[in-house]
Structures are given as C-alpha cells and as structure tokens.
Structure 1
C-alpha cells in the first residue's frame, strides 16, 4: 500500500443519477479498500442529507450548496489521512472541479446507466412520480453529467456491482504512483509550464484559506478599495480573500485553475474579480492598464531569471505612480535548495523547477527597474504549511518616477 495515500488520504467520488447503483457499488469499494489495510470512511449522500437535518432543499441551487458541503467535508476527512468513498448525485461541474483542485489522490467514477433501467430499479420512487406527471425526463433537468471522469462504469447488464467496484478500485490504485510523476522540463516553454500547472491543480492538495502573507498585506499595508493585480493566483485563495475589500484581476498559466476560479466566482456571486489565463508580462486580453497593487506569492521562485525580470518590468509599467508590489518567495537560504537535481547555480528540479533567490541581488534588480524598497524581511516561520517551514523573503517595493 502506498505510504503517501496512507498519509494523505484520498477521495473516490462515485456519482450518477438516482438508480445507478452508487451506494451499493461505493459500499463494496469501501469494504475492499479496508481489506487492503487502508483507513476508509464510506459516506452516502442520502444519509448525510438526513444527518444534516434536512437543512437543504431539493431545488438545483440547494442541491449545489449541499454538494459543496459534501466536497468540503470529504476534504477535511482526507486531510486527516482517511480515504473517503462517497456515493452522491451532486452532478455539478464546479463541485467536481473543486474536488480535483483540493485533493491529492482523487478519483471520479461515473456510473452510466440508461434511463429505462434506472426507472425500473427506482429505489426512491423518483421516476414513478415523474412518470405520473408525464415528464420522466424532468429527473435529469439541470444536472451536469461529468465531462471528464476518471472512469465510466456501465453498471448494468453483465456488470455486477462487484465487477463495477473492482474496476473502480483498480483504477484508483493504478493512479496512485502517478500523482507525483509529472515534472517540469528545463528549459521549459510557456506551453510546457502551463501543462505542468494544469496537472498540478488537477491532482495536488491546494489550501483554500488565505495565506498569512495575504492577511499581512491586507491588514497592514493595502489602502482602501484598491485595484489588485495578482499573478500566479493558483486556486485563487488570496484573490477571493482580497475581493472582500478590493477590485481584483488575477492571472495564472493554468487554464484548469482559472476556469475553476471563474466558476466559483459565478457560484458565489462575486462580481469584482476577474480571472485571466496567460503568461504574466506578455500582452494578454483582459489585463488592466493601471492598478494600485501588484501581488505575487510563491510564484517568483518558480520563474527563471528572464521571466522574473519580465514580470517586474511589467509590474512597474501597470502600477500607478507610488503604487506598490508585494512579493513573497523562497530564498537561497531555504533548506529545500539542498534537494533535487542541480540545474543552475541556485536552480533545482524536484517535483517542479525552483530558483532560490538571493535577496540582496533581487532588491538590486528592483532598484534598477525603478522601485524603492519599503519593506524587506527574510526568515523562516512566515509560510508554514504542514511539515514545510521554508525560509522566505517578504518584499514590498514602491514605484518611483
């Protein structure tokens, strides 16, 4: 059994319409994984709805709200090293996208069963009730069938629930060693970097609360009602936080991440935030001409020196006079610099490319572009995440003219 899955937990999201056999198949998957020594929790959507005291209604908006509750509950359980197998309809693309973005080991299994067979099974009487109204097709109105599930199981005919469960387990177990297999080539083109980060945000654990750096900047340095441009926004954790007080434009190379963020903004009715996919520093549609703040956290050390200079020059161009850039990045004092393949003086390749930045040299480059350093700090203890406590720099620089 993979030690990583034992430590991180995984999520198997068994979805399909009512009558597809989700609960039966998911329960078998759960028991089989337990027999392999994996700590597993089986959850049934109907049971959860009952446990929650019927707090949520049955119209589409309420169903989506409930689906997000399921998703975030599963994430919390997985973070404690337990693999969750959940049987739920919850057929909303934005929810499934959040699952992929938030869980390192994730498998989406769609039980595809024809309507006539589901209607014949009809464990809840849903199809019988719909047929009485003369519109049995209404049972699927508003749901979004998975566009790219990890596995589609035809759970009918000769495919018994046991066979279906075995197919899901085999798929799940075979994907585990691949979770960390993608690495970023050096040198990497923009398309290669974008492809890597798409893979990253499909499979890696992505924290959702705002970073401590975002809170530090917002509470101590940002003015009122700023236009903030964030580059390398990832899953939008800081952008969504900033949007409570500011106008936000956020760019990332990953289409997966930006599309997920756009959907979340639509779902939550957030109108003062725009997500753009593209390369920061290059001409890209949707980017603002002038901003009050440029913000970048844990992105500068993932750039080559050439890309860094491009990003800093572009930041200087779009900032208003006296506007400021806020940056947090790993430095050459970070112990992670001792790991991985050496691909340059301070460049290393582990799961992806990192360039560990010398703070003095970096501040000199800022000054050459036309920035004045207002704040500069380098130490550990600022960006802890799990067992990782990197040595980072926090830099705030002001555009002078």
Structure 2
C-alpha cells in the first residue's frame, strides 16, 4: 500500500439540512478511504456522545461555536496527514467560509434533498412541524446553503455509492488524490479527466500515424518539377 505524506491530509465538509443524509454519506466515505490505507476520521456534528457540542444549545451563536469546534479538530487532523470527514448541519454560511479560509485543503459538499423526503427522514423536522420543538434550521430557523460549494449531491436522487464516486472525482480534480487511488476507492473506475486524456492521447497517436503515411507523398509532390507547358 502506498504511504501518504503528512502534507496529504485534507477536510471534507458535508453540510445539509436535518435528514439530508450527511452522516450516511460521511460514514461511507470514511470507510472507503480507510479501506485503501488513508488515515480517515469521521467527525459527526450530531454525535450522540456530544463530545464537541457539550453545553451548547440551539442559538445562532451556539451553532457557530459547534462549527468552530468541529473545524478546529478537523484542521488538526488534516495538518497531521489524515482525512477529516465532517458531517455537520452548520446552518450559517459565515462560519463555513471562515473554515475555508483557515484550512488550506478543504472541500465543501452540499447535500441537497427535497422537503418531502426530509420530512420522511427527520424526526426533528416532523416535531417542528407539529409545534413540539422550535429552532429547527430550514423550518423556523435559517439554513443558509453554500453559495459556491465544491460539489452538490442529491441524496433523494442518488445512491450513496454514486454520491461518493462523484466526491472522489472532485478530489481528483483538486489533486488531493491521484487516478490510481481513485481506482482503488471506486472499485476500478477511472476518473473522467484520465479517460479524456487517454482518448486525446489515442487521437494524437492516430493523427501522427496518418501524418507519417501521408508525408512521403507530400515530399514527393514538393520535389517534383512542374510540368512544362507545351508551346503552341
């Protein structure tokens, strides 16, 4: 297995509303990365143990503090060569943008999902709609989706394996992983750019061969003396 240099760590930050499928996707990514030898850690903002959210409530300030705590741990992991996969509601845009500025190798993934599916998946959202709880982002509290995420996935339309493969492609695009690692992560697939490069290379070879075949004729034509015009 290839060893990874310490500088190869990075952060995958997965944001989306309650019930969007952040934890499911983050867990899958972490397992796949670990399976190919990447040191990867899952950081879940909805961790039942509440290690990083202890003492925090549902106010805007508390939610922003939770993002900063999660981001701080993720930054330390990435600095030491690990991949930090963060599943975080992180409903406010500015704390996420601050993390982007602080963490050099950072990929933001927005998990989008239609409201009907969110209702089916999220008990918190159903309770909010029934008036049992308040301050639920996306219902009676703001959720600010990313303006320029690195990738948008649709958990109501795509299987988690498809979402993950698209994220791995995004990691190839920013050169956080290479084509060989992409293949191991995806079970032998090739990244799109590699496929395109291979096709372009094949076209160039064919063009070169065709040019080589035509070259003698062109040279002969250039060297041939023009025919003399007959005098009348």
Give the RMSD, CA atoms, in angstroms: 2.6
Separation in 2 of the partners of 1:114 and 1:170? 24
Alignment map for 1:155-174 (pairs within 5 Å): 155-157=155-157, 159-174=158-173
- 1:133 corresponding residue in structure 2: 131
- Report if aligned partners of 1:60, 1:142 keep a CA contact under 8 Å in 2: no
Residues matched between the structures, number: 174
Give deviations 1:48-102, integer Å, cap 9, x for gaps.
Answer: 7612473111122211111111111211221111110010101222222222212
SS in 1 for 2:107: strand
The change in CA–CA distance for 1:177 and 1:137 in structure 2 (over 3 A counts) is closer
- 2:220 corresponding residue in structure 1: none
- Report if aligned partners of 1:29, 1:166 keep a CA contact under 8 Å in 2: no
The TM-score, its normalising length taken from structure 1, stands at: 0.40
- 1:146 corresponding residue in structure 2: 146
- 1:90 corresponding residue in structure 2: 90
Separation in 2 of the partners of 1:137 and 1:96? 20
Separation in 1 of the partners of 2:100 and 2:48? 21
SS in 1 for 2:46: helix
The structure whose residues are more often helix, as a share, is 2
Give deviations 1:274-303, integer Å, cap 9, x for gaps.
Answer: xxxxxxxxxxxxxxxxxxxxxxxxxxxxxx
The change in CA–CA distance for 1:105 and 1:69 in structure 2 (over 3 A counts) is same
- Alpha-carbon deviation of 1:37? 2.0
Greater RCO, CA 8 A, separation 6+:
2
SS in 1 for 2:42: strand
- Report if aligned partners of 2:53, 2:66 keep a CA contact under 8 Å in 1: no
- Alpha-carbon deviation of 1:38? 1.3
Q: Does 1:75 align with 2:79?
A: no
Separation in 1 of the partners of 2:172 and 2:45? 24
- Report if aligned partners of 2:92, 2:144 keep a CA contact under 8 Å in 1: yes
- Alpha-carbon deviation of 1:139? 3.8
Separation in 2 of the partners of 1:135 and 1:41? 32
The change in CA–CA distance for 1:92 and 1:36 in structure 2 (over 3 A counts) is same
- 1:64 corresponding residue in structure 2: 64
- Alpha-carbon deviation of 1:108? 0.4
Gaps in structure 1 of 5+ consecutive residues = 179-401
The change in CA–CA distance for 1:103 and 1:176 in structure 2 (over 3 A counts) is farther
- Alpha-carbon deviation of 1:19? 0.3
SS in 1 for 2:47: helix
SS in 2 for 1:54: coil
SS in 1 for 2:169: helix
- Report if aligned partners of 1:9, 1:81 keep a CA contact under 8 Å in 2: yes
Separation in 2 of the partners of 1:80 and 1:16? 27
Gaps in structure 2 of 5+ consecutive residues = 178-232
The TM-score, its normalising length taken from structure 2, stands at: 0.67
- Alpha-carbon deviation of 1:105? 1.8
- Alpha-carbon deviation of 1:173? 2.7
- Alpha-carbon deviation of 1:45? 0.8
- Report if aligned partners of 2:43, 2:70 keep a CA contact under 8 Å in 1: no
- Alpha-carbon deviation of 1:128? 1.5
- 1:111 corresponding residue in structure 2: 111
- Report if aligned partners of 1:91, 1:143 keep a CA contact under 8 Å in 2: yes
Separation in 1 of the partners of 2:53 and 2:148? 33
Separation in 2 of the partners of 1:176 and 1:134? 46
Give deviations 1:94-130, integer Å, cap 9, x for gaps.
Answer: 22222221222211000000111111111xx211211
